[in-house]
Amino acid sequence: MELKIFDTSDQLDQYAAELFTKLINEKPKAVLGLATGSTPIGIYDKIVDNYNLNKLSFSGVTTYNLDEYVGLTPDNDQSYAYYMNRHLFSRVDIPASQTHLPNGMAPDPQAECARYDALLNEHPADIQLLGLGHNGHIGFNEPDGELSAGTHVVKLKEETREANARFFASMDEVPTEAYTMGVGSILKANTILLVVRGSDKASIVKEALTGPVTTQIPASLLQTHPRVIVLLDREAGRMLD
């Protein structure tokens, strides 16, 4: 595991954006596993800056997102499809047909999970970007006695709904279920880029990276992956030796 702690969020964003830029230049048909939440926004902004400076093209890139809320349409501004268009896809030259998320409105959730897994199996990610939930979740793989390898529908924990309520008008509007890529698919990525910011995540960072590997902290499974890069700001890394 490669760990880097940055003095400022800006430096972290720049570093992560350079990683993506380098990968896409070396491999124009790269497959990216992408994430949402507040953590990656600055990284996407810096990637777009690089794109505007003609440092890279997304024309051959394919993307697969980690997760999507059940019941939100892509034009709902809280859906992850909307988020990805807003923060990245609409700002670069990626064809829409090369961007993928689970469809939150799919009539048959089981079929939707199978459809997404078939795509993921065919196109393993060169790099998978991950944020971290306060309870150690990755994507929407919540702490549990057992975890699913493939794409599945999760009932969101109340603590996760509360954490994400800041993006919605009220708690009632926060969906209760979401599709998420399973930990098996996440761990199949060639490289995993875990990004965490903020003092409030310092203790879960320490537990996930240095504690026992347990399904009760899904991010701890990353300890079993051969190529993980962890990027932290000072605050998130403050409990690490």
Assess whether 225 carries a catalytic annotation: no
Helix (H) or strand (E) holding 19: helix 9-26
Is 142 among the catalytic positions? yes
* Binding flags for ligand GLP, 52-71, as an x/- string (CB under 6 A): --------------xx----
**Region 154-183 residues binding ligand GLP, contact defined as CB under 6 A:** 160, 164
Extract the tokens encoding 1. Answer: 């595991």
Q: Output 56 or 67, the one with its CB closest to ligand GLP.
A: 67
CB of 23 to ligand GLP, least distance (A): 20
Number of residues that bind ligand GLP (CB under 6 A): 14
Minimum gap (Å) between residue 214 Cβ and ligand GLP: 19
What's the gap between Cα 187 and its chain centre?
Answer: 13
DSSP 157: P
CB proximity list for 94: less than 8 A, separation 6 or greater = 58, 59, 61, 63, 88
**79 CB-near residues (< 8 Å, 6+ apart):** 68, 69, 72, 73, 104
Task: Work out whether 237 is an interface residue with ligand GLP (CB under 6 A).
Answer: no
Binding window for ligand GLP (CB under 6 A); candidates: 21-29, 33-41, 96-104, 141-149:
33-41
With both helix axes pointing from N to C terminus, report the angle between 80-87 and 41-52 in degrees, rounded to the nearest 10: 40
Residue 163 Cβ vs ligand GLP, minimum distance, rounded to whole Å: 7
- Determine whether 54 is an active site residue: no
Token duo for residue 27: 């491999």
Q: Is 54 left (phi over 0), alpha (psi -120 to 50) or beta?
A: left
Kindly identify the residues of this chain, within the stretch 105-134, that bind ligand GLP according to CB under 6 A: 131-133
For residue 211, give the DSSP letter: S
Closer CB to ligand GLP, residue 128 or residue 164? 164
Residues serving a catalytic function are 67, 135, 137, 142
Name the residues that contact ligand GLP, by CB under 6 A: 35-39, 66-67, 131-133, 139-140, 160, 164
